[in-house]
Amino acid sequence: MKRYFFAFFCCFFVYSFLFGDDSDIRSYISKMTSEEKASQVLMMSIEGEKKFPPYLSSYFDSYTPGAFILFGYNFSDTPQACAYYIKSVKQSVQNLSKSKTFIPPFFASDFEGGRVYRIRKIGSPLPSPKKIAKTLTEEEALALYTHTAEQINLLGIHLNLAPIVEKERSQGSGFLDDRIFSNDEDVLVRYAKAFISGMKKGGMLSTVKHFPGNAETDPHLSKSIIDVDQDIFYRDFINPFRRIIYGSDEVVLISHAEVSFIEKKPFCFSKIGIEKFLRNELNFKGLIITDDMAMKTLKTDGRSTEDNVLLALAAGCDMVMCSEPKFKELVEVISKKMKAESDFLKRIDDAVFNILKTKIKMGIIDETCRPIEKYKFNKEKFYKAKKDAENILKNSKQSK
């Protein structure tokens, strides 16, 4: 009898270790309203740079987006002011919330380096990915990205919408150019891994983008179509991502480009593409987010932003990014579709599960989905990390 009891205890322990947290999250999701779930799958832009604008109280009302994306205009001239602004936003939406348990939003922004680097006014310099790969060793890059992440994390930001893990389709097109480490796949993969590892050491999660790649045109400006055969698609598009995210549970940002041999629709709307290539073939278990729904490439076929958001979520994206001020409208259309369609409700439940798992990794909620993050800005730590990063760049230049 003791032997059976011991065996039962061991099985129960293993089950609890592997699945206990997941069942707590699923239980929490089952108690959320449709509107609360709809809010969680949205990454919205927000105005202001010093504190939460009071006029936005009626805009957000009692619901909180799952995340906020910060653009250049959200960053003040000092790290203290930036950290205070983010704290103000979080506290304000928490005060507005009528949920029994408030789920904090996470904050995301672009810190690729070079021309796409939101804290260039207040943080240490960060060269473009291409320059990093040409002038720094992998060890130097790892250290530089670690100290850069420490600065970003101290401001209260959780997710870096970088690195780009794709090859430039047309040299000199201006769309990616120096935003990628190299067109040599081995160099690209090595430095992308250094980027991701450095960010993680510094307290940040990274976003591998733009899966599965882009065409020669900029999707911000026009429709983007990847017109290649399957062999080239696997070799030039999928393979760099495979070498970095296979079997992982990190974060991936989906491209708006259309892959013509899969489906005549943007990849973020392609259930076939997302399930076959990302979830199944790359065995990806993490969070899938879209690029901005406001991009012109999605506005070419007469669809509204609301239509685009529903299509992306139904296809398998977990969180949609939207820089347009349509939070209430999007919450309404998502929750309405959830109430009408059981399959879509299950899809959103799965999306919210991936979002909450990511927030646990970020350290902003615990395994029971209770908020745990505190105000973390520390002036001394920020300027030490800034100096450490600057020294890496200085010493690297002296050694070459």
Interval 340-368: pLDDT, tens: 999 999 999 999 999 999 999 999 999 99
Q: What are the beta bridge partners of residue 251?
A: 207, 287
State the chain's mean pLDDT as an integer.
91
Q: Which residue has the higher pLDDT, 320 or 373?
A: 320
Cis peptide before 210 (omega within 30 of 0): yes
The predicted pLDDT at position 152 comes to 98
The predicted pLDDT at position 301 comes to 76
Q: How far is CA 242 from the centre of its chain?
A: 18
Q: Are 293 and 322 in contact (CB under 8 A)?
A: yes
Q: Can you count the helices (H) and strands (E) in the chain?
A: 14, 12
Counting Cβ atoms within 10 Å, is residue 164 exposed (0-12), middle (13-18) or buried (19+)? Answer: buried
Q: Are 165 and 179 in contact (CB under 8 A)?
A: no
Question: Which residues have C-beta within 8 Å of that of residue 9, sequence separation ≥ 6?
Answer: none
The predicted pLDDT at position 177 comes to 86
Interval 200-255: pLDDT, tens: 999 999 999 999 998 766 666 667 889 999 999 999 999 999 999 999 999 999 99
Interval 103-126: pLDDT, tens: 999 999 999 999 999 999 999 999
Express as a percent the part of the chain with pLDDT over 90: 82
> pTM for the full model?
0.92
The predicted pLDDT at position 8 comes to 45
Question: Positive or negative, the Cα torsion across 349, 163, 196, 159?
Answer: negative
The predicted pLDDT at position 6 comes to 47
Q: Look-up: residue for tokens 């000092």?
A: 78
